[in-house]
Structure 1
Amino acid sequence: MLRYTLMRLGIFAGCLVVVWGLVYSGIVPRGLGDSNGLWIVLLSLVISAPISFVVLRKERDRASVQVAARVDRMKANIDANRAQEDLADDTARAQGQTS
């Protein structure tokens, strides 16, 4: 998961550098007033999102398998704890009724 995040950040950083170069060379229009920095960041986000979606497909699938396995383990642990509690409750009730 960390690898995927770092790859996304790398793609964003690359887009940020390219967009910054295009804005300051005059190919892409500058933002209005003092919003130039925000314009560059937003444009970089908009450009990097579809690139990341296409380029990082395999890495995203690999990360989702890890997340799904972690969720399954957590569910199994919760079910095991619930079963232990039910068994303890049933045992306590059975001992209370026989007295």
Structure 2
Amino acid sequence: MRYTVLRFALFAACFLAAWGLSYLGVVPAGVGDSQVFWVILLGLVLSAPLSWVLLRKQRLAMSEQVVEKVERAKQRLAADQRQEDGADDAARAQG
């Protein structure tokens, strides 16, 4: 959750910077009524590499959490399969 909030904050900062630069005429303002779309796109393009570098630690921590959850789910699934196999073997032994 923390990574997502930081990623969004970084995008918002890049969006505001792009909006300001567009307003000052440093970067093009887009064509016709496309200014908002242009600034959003520019904010995304700027924030992506920045988040890759600046949020590396948080991204790795989030990745570790996901891996742990997947491993726990795999262990639960394997335990359920063993229990099911045991019940199946017991039913075949009786029948």
Structure 1 ranges of 4+ moved more than 4 A: none
Measure, in 1, the Cα distance between the counterparts of 2:91 and 2:47. Answer: 59
Measure, in 2, the Cα distance between the counterparts of 1:29 and 1:78. Answer: 54
**Structure 1 match to 2:70:** 71
Percent pairwise identity: 53
Residue 52 (structure 1) aligned with residue 55 (structure 2): no
SS of structure 2 residue aligned to 1:88: helix
* Mapping 1:1-99, distance limit 5 Å: 2-96=1-95
**TM-score normalized by structure 1?**
0.95
Measure, in 1, the Cα distance between the counterparts of 2:14 and 2:76. Answer: 42
The structural deviation recorded for 1:74 is 0.2
Unaligned regions of 5+ residues in structure 1, if any? none
**TM-score normalized by structure 2?**
0.99
The structural deviation recorded for 1:6 is 0.2
The structural deviation recorded for 1:18 is 0.4
SS of structure 2 residue aligned to 1:48: helix
The structural deviation recorded for 1:59 is 0.6
Measure, in 2, the Cα distance between the counterparts of 1:67 and 1:29. Answer: 40
Amino acid at match of 2:20: G
Unaligned regions of 5+ residues in structure 2, if any? none
The structural deviation recorded for 1:53 is 0.2
Amino acid at match of 2:56: R
Measure, in 2, the Cα distance between the counterparts of 1:40 and 1:57. Answer: 25
